[in-house]
Structure 1
Amino acid sequence: MSKEIKSVGFVPRFFGSFGQFFKYMGNGNYAARCSEVSNGSKFEFEVDPKVITEEVEVIREVQIEAPALDTVNSDGALQLLQLLQKEARFIDFTQESIDTYSDEEVGGAARQIHAGCSKVIEQYFSLSAVNEAPENARVEVASDYNPQHTKLEGVIQGDGPFSGTLIHPGWKVTDIKLPQISDTEGLSILAPAEVEV
Structure 2
Amino acid sequence: MTKTIKAVSFVPRFFGAFGQFFKYMGSGDYAARCQQVAAGDLLASEVEPKVITETIDVIREIEIAAPTLDTVNEDGAHQLLQLLQQEARFVDFLQESIGDYTDADVGAAARQIHAGCANVLKQYFTIDAVNSATENSRVEVHSDYDAKQIKLEGRVEGTGPYTGTLIHPGWKITDTRLPKVTNTDNLTILAPAEVEV
TM tier, smaller = 0.5 to 0.7
Quote the residue 1:130 is aligned against: 130
For residues 155-181 of structure 1, give each alpha carbon's deviation from its aligned partner in whole angstroms, at most 9, with x where no partner exists: 222222111111111111111111111
The amino acid that maps onto 1:156 is: V
- The whole-number CA distance in structure 2 between the counterparts of 1:94 and 1:158 is 45
For residues 128-174 of structure 1, give each alpha carbon's deviation from its aligned partner in whole angstroms, at most 9, with x where no partner exists: 11001111110001122111100111222222211111111111111
Change (3 A) 1:177 1:67: closer
- SS of residue in 2 equivalent to 1:163: strand
Quote the residue 1:121 is aligned against: 121
Change (3 A) 1:181 1:169: same
TM-score (norm 2): 0.64
For residues 18-77 of structure 1, give each alpha carbon's deviation from its aligned partner in whole angstroms, at most 9, with x where no partner exists: xxxxxxxxxxxxxxxxxxxxxxxxxxxxxxxxxxxxxxxxxxxxxxxx776322111111
CA RMSD in angstroms comes to 1.7
- SS of residue in 2 equivalent to 1:185: coil
Change (3 A) 1:170 1:96: same
Quote the residue 1:82 is aligned against: 82
TM-score (norm 1): 0.64
For structure 1, which runs of at least 5 residues remain unmatched after alignment? 1-65
Change (3 A) 1:142 1:67: closer
- SS of residue in 1 equivalent to 2:83: helix
- SS of residue in 1 equivalent to 2:187: helix
- The whole-number CA distance in structure 2 between the counterparts of 1:153 and 1:69 is 28
For structure 2, which runs of at least 5 residues remain unmatched after alignment? 1-65
The amino acid that maps onto 2:127 is: L
> How many residue pairs get matched?
133
The amino acid that maps onto 1:193 is: A
Quote the residue 2:98 is aligned against: 98
Q: Percent identity?
A: 67
Quote the residue 1:184 is aligned against: 184
- The whole-number CA distance in structure 1 between the counterparts of 2:133 and 2:69 is 36
- The whole-number CA distance in structure 1 between the counterparts of 2:112 and 2:176 is 24
- The whole-number CA distance in structure 2 between the counterparts of 1:142 and 1:134 is 18
- The whole-number CA distance in structure 1 between the counterparts of 2:67 and 2:132 is 33
- The whole-number CA distance in structure 1 between the counterparts of 2:73 and 2:187 is 12
The amino acid that maps onto 2:72 is: V
- The whole-number CA distance in structure 1 between the counterparts of 2:69 and 2:126 is 27
Quote the residue 1:150 is aligned against: 150
Quote the residue 1:160 is aligned against: 160
